[in-house]
Amino acid sequence: DTAVSQTPKYLVTQMGNDKSIKCEQNLGHDTMYWYKQDSKKFLKIMFSYNNKELIINETVPNRFSPKSPDKAHLNLHINSLELGDSAVYFCASSLDRGGGYTFGSGTRLTVV
Amino acid sequence: AQSVTQPDIHITVSEGASLELRCNYSYGATPYLFWYVQSPGQGLQLLLKYFSGDTLVQGIKGFEAEFKRSQSSFNLRKPSVHWSDAAEYFCAVGGSGGYNKLIFGAGTRLAVHP
């Protein structure tokens, strides 16, 4: 039983393409997140949703659009992919009271 | 500004030796503090967390961390390191309420010599 699952695990695509990453959690958590981990392993928050409502939107290019159809799912759609988008994208979830995150195993995106 | 500093980018220890990974934070309110571990190609696993109360926190895999408010530190320790502990370790700080984002340090890569 995977608590936070992301698909796909690997994604290789050409510049200019549009791609989506999906995330699902079965923990009953109310809040979900997208983090980006760059080549130097630095983790930075991109978005957060609470009960389908966007609550955190960091300075992210508007080519990135999150969507949360319900509180168990948070997807990330990226338009017009650029080389600099290559990274590992992590989905995470938490309870409202801030009990720490549970992370997915990540999606390694490579833009060529 | 909220920030987390992990001064050591890379640490190498011998198997069986003790370990201490340093973490300093800057946070305007009461912090929630976390340590996560990331093995190669894997996601992040929560080792331990501090919210309040006893400043010495026990975690999984034999790790512990001590919160020192006066030093704004939350250092991670293990008395005897195993080869399987080789990984990247991240310290993170967040707020005491819900919805608060976690701010991560840059990580410390731990290598273990046999």
Helix then strand count (H, E) for chain A reads: 0, 11
Residue-level pLDDT at A51: 83
Return d(Cα B43, Cα B80) in angstroms, integer.
Answer: 24
For A80-97, the pLDDT digits (tens) are 999 999 999 999 998 865
Question: Nearest CB to A98: which of B43, B95, B107?
Answer: B95
Best B39, B44, B52, B108 member to test A by mutation, with max A CBs in 10 Å, is: B44
Q: Decide if B97 and A98 are in contact by the 8 Å CB cutoff.
A: yes
- Joined together, the tokens standing for residue B24 give 């300093």
What is the CA A36 to chain-centroid distance, rounded? 7
For chain B, say whether A3 makes contact (Cβ under 8 Å).
no
Q: C-alpha distances in angstroms, B14 versus B20, B82, B112, B113?
A: 13, 9, 5, 4
The rounded percent of chain B whose pLDDT value lies above 90 is 76
Query: What residues in A contact B96, CB-CB < 8 Å?
Result: 98
Nearest to A74 by CA among A58, A51, A98, A43: A51
For B67-109, the pLDDT digits (tens) are 999 999 999 999 999 999 999 999 999 875 555 688 999 999 9
DSSP A101: -
- Spatial contact of A89 and A76, defined as CB atoms under 8 Å apart: yes
Helix ranges, chain B (H)? none
Q: Which pLDDT band, with edges at 50, 70 and 90, does B53 fall under?
A: confident
Residue-level pLDDT at B31: 86
For A7-66, the pLDDT digits (tens) are 999 999 999 999 999 999 999 998 899 999 999 999 999 999 888 888 888 878 999 999
Query: What residues in B contact A105, CB-CB < 8 Å?
Result: 42-43
**Residue A37 β-bridge partners:** A43, A88
Q: State whether residue A26 is helix, strand or coil.
A: coil
Question: Nearest CB to B99: which of A50, A102, A105?
Answer: A50
> Which residue in B has a C-alpha nearest to residue A40's C-alpha?
B106
Query: What residues in B contact A104, CB-CB < 8 Å?
Result: 43
Nearest to B19 by CA among B68, B67, B87: B87
